[in-house]
Structure 1
Amino acid sequence: MTCPCCRKEVKHKKMVHVNKLRKTIGRLEVKCKNAEAGCLVTCPLAHRKGHQDSCPFELTACPNDGCTVQVLRGVLAEHRQHCQHGTRQHCPLGCGATLGPAERVRHNCYHQLRETWGQRQERSRTLVLCLLRRMRKVHHATNLIRQQLAQLGDFLEDDALFLGAGQEETEANPRGSSRAEVWGIQGQNIL
């Protein structure tokens, strides 16, 4: 810190704070530091910093990555809409498109909606074809199961007839025939 009169360096320990003087100085009305840029605000010196943080004439850097432009805080929002380094935003007309600043200039909602509709229609066609393929597979599997059930039904009828004949035969022939052998021969036909 330097002395305001002689500009010699003053150690912090030797400094004397005069609170009454500080309050008086703090109440002095000063113009905004951006008065040359057009700001007409005058405020107490103590409140100057608070005004500068919200002054529309304060130069601020564009927050978009890669943009080095400094603009007045009051026009920053407009600059961000047209900034070439801006982030992608949804179309303000509601078509659902996400656009960068360069795309916003030549964006046409009608074309965007038509393209989106075409993509969804193509996706629907693909889903319908997939469902048809699956239905054919299910239909084919159902037909195979029906055929196998019919063969099983025929086999069970033959087996019932065979068992009825087999009981007569066992009464006549005590050894009888092996049922497992019959099942093995006819079971191969089913599969």
Structure 2
Amino acid sequence: MQGQKTCPCCRKEVKQKRMVHVNKLRKIIGRLEVKCKNAEAGCLVTCPLAHRKGHEDSCPFELMACPNEGCMSRVPRGALAEHQQNCQHGAHQRFPLGCGATLGPAERANHNCYRELREAWCQHQERSRTLVVCLLRCMRKVHRSTNFIRRQLAQLGDLLEEDDALLVGASQEEAEATPGGSIGVEVWGAQGQATL
């Protein structure tokens, strides 16, 4: 039925629902010795029909697709390992453990993505430490400059207070020295005009 929908004797069409399963006959057919389907490729194995599928799953002459990305070759299972080593498409493949590295066959054998990721992480940590040290230096400089400016402003404020005190003292002395006892200081009125 898998190969042909007709009776092997009379060649009339056979329908699935009209078939009668004869287990004794099935066992007899299953014991029939058959050659491997890869006999033309060189497989010499002869096995019972019931075990043929199991043999084909491990037959070294069974054609297999090359697992390398982009390679369309189909090679016998026994030669697949050698093909993969020499495959043009297998020269550079992504490493399957997820690090994303594209490696050739020789590099793949020695590749340890965990070690490389650890080294990259250590380098990143070292750069981060260097940046933190530079930022701390800059912050110290800014802190020193800010403290210096505060001290300068405080000294300037003290000088201005002393100057104000001197000016007030000088104004009082002038007022006492002027005849009539009037203060010779200009006072600005509401209109912005000077009055004496």
TM bucket (normalised to shorter chain) is 0.5 to 0.7
Q: For the residues of structure 2 that align with 1:9 and 1:85, how far apart are their CA atoms? A: 49
Gap regions ≥5 residues in structure 1: 91-96, 110-118, 163-191
1:147 CA drift (Å): 1.2
Q: Which residue of 2 aligns with 1:177?
A: none
Which of 1 and 2 has higher RCO (CA within 8 Å, sep 6+)? 1
Report the equivalent of 1:139: 140
Give yes or no for contact 2:94–2:103 (8 Å, CA) kept in 1: yes
1:88 to 2:93 alignment: yes
Q: Partner letter of residue 28 of structure 1?
A: L
| 2:60 counterpart of 1:56 | yes
Correspondent of 1:11 among 6, 11, 15:
15
Partner SS for 2:47: strand
- 1:25 and 1:152 map into 2 onto residues whose CA distance is 109
Q: Say yes or no: does 1:35 pair with 2:42.
A: no
Cα drift, residue 88 of structure 1: 1.5
Matched residues in 1 for 2:24 and 2:125: separation? 79
- Kindly report structure 1 stretches of 4+ aligned residues shifted beyond 4 Å: 122-133, 151-156
Distance 1:124 1:20 in 2: 74
1:72 aligns with 2:85: no
C-alpha separation in 2, matches of 1:136 and 1:13? 89
Report the aligned-residue RMSD: 4.2
SS of 1:5's partner is coil
Q: Which TM-score applies when normalising by structure 2?
A: 0.52
| Higher helix proportion | 1
Q: Which has the larger radius of gyration?
A: 2
Q: Which ranges in structure 2 are unaligned for 5 or more consecutive residues?
A: 96-100, 111-119, 163-196
Task: For 2:146, give the aligned amino acid.
Answer: I
CA distance in 1, matches of 2:72, 2:12: 39
When residues 126 and 57 of structure 1 are mapped into structure 2, their CA distance, relative to the original with a 3 A threshold, is same
Shift of 1:153: 7.0
The amino acid of 1:23's aligned partner reads: K
* TM-score (structure 1 length as normaliser): 0.53
Q: Size of the alignment, in residue pairs?
A: 140
Give the counterpart letter for 1:20 in structure 2: K
Distance 1:149-1:88 versus aligned 2 partners, 3 A rule: same
- 1:88 maps to a residue whose letter is Q
| CA distance, structure 1, for counterparts of residue 156 and residue 104 of structure 2 | 72
Shift of 1:61: 1.9
